[in-house]
Amino acid sequence: MLNEAVEGVVADGLLNWRELATKATEAICAVDPGKPVVFEPSPWGGPDGFDTLEPLDLDRVIYSFHMYRPHNFTHQGVYDDKTGIVYPGRIDGELWDKERLREEMLPAIEFQDEFNVHMYVGEFSVIRWAPGDSGYCYLCDVIDLFEEYGWDWSYHAFREWDGWSVEHGPDRGDRNPAEAPTRRMELLLKWFAKNQRP
């Protein structure tokens, strides 16, 4: 419906994000009955958006969120952000490992359990110049968790910007694809090979 919705104070007479998405979905279904829609909660489509969300009173809704946590690790050096942050490890004074990632996604896990809904991780990634095998280790852990809960997922992004690219190596200054597949690329290809056509 909308990528990374952000909702502040809703003015009188206007619909909040959940109400607007419900109305838009009803309009879609009037033209194309049975068409599934993907809904991300506010703010920014993060897993914490499921803390207070009530499911849309509609059929065929796929609930989605984005996983870039911890942001200081996944986005290191994207702008002028600090670099050299390692995963797993202490990030901003907290230990981040697979169990900490699970804890971060707990609102989505509990939402799925309570309402028996289809979940989709619409975006997740890590910057390619994360130190050593940090990016690979992070991707291993988040994908293992997605798969554990039966969630569909999409890596962000394919040939959009080389910073997220699994085809590029860890040298931030080298804008050319690596000559050999990176470990991050091999990891994604391993998981993609498990896909089966319906």
What is the DSSP annotation of 88-149?
SEEETTEEESHHHHHHHTHHHHHHHHHH--EEEEEEE---TTSSTTHHHHHHHHHHHHHHHT
Find residue 104's DSSP bridge partners. Answer: none
Q: What share of the chain is helix, strand, coil (3-state, %, to 5)?
A: 35, 15, 55
Q: What is the pLDDT of residue 90?
A: 97
What averages of pLDDT result for each successive group of 10 residues across the chain (198 residues)? Answer: 88 92 91 92 94 91 97 94 96 97 98 97 98 97 98 96 97 96 97 89
Task: Map tokens 């509990």 to a residue.
Answer: 110
Q: What is the pLDDT of residue 20?
A: 93
Domain carrying residue 142 = 17-192
C-alpha dist (Å) from residue 184 to 5, 48, 122, 137, 160 = 29, 27, 18, 9, 16
Q: Whose CA is closest to 156, among 48, 78, 39, 56? A: 78
Task: Give the domain CATH number at 110.
Answer: 3.20.20.80
Q: What is the pLDDT of residue 53?
A: 93
Three-state SS for 20? helix
Q: What is the pLDDT of residue 198?
A: 74
Is 198 domain-assigned? no
Strands 61-67 and 118-124: parallel
Q: Which residues of 38-52 are buried (b: 16+ CB within 10 A; e: fewer)?
A: bbbbbeebbbbbbee
Please give the tally of structural domains in the chain: 1
Is 65 domain-assigned? yes
Is 5 domain-assigned? no
Is 132 domain-assigned? yes
Q: What is the pLDDT of residue 59?
A: 87
Is 153 domain-assigned? yes
Is 89 domain-assigned? yes
Is 8 domain-assigned? no
Read off the tokens for 184. Answer: 């991050």
Task: Map tokens 């995963």 to a residue.
Answer: 87
Three-state SS for 39? strand
Q: What is the pLDDT of residue 103?
A: 98
| End-to-end CA separation in angstroms for the chain | 24
Is 1 domain-assigned? no
Number of neighbouring beta carbons within 10 Å of residue 66 = 20
Give the integer Cα–Cα distance in Å for 67 and 104: 9
Three-state SS for 80? coil
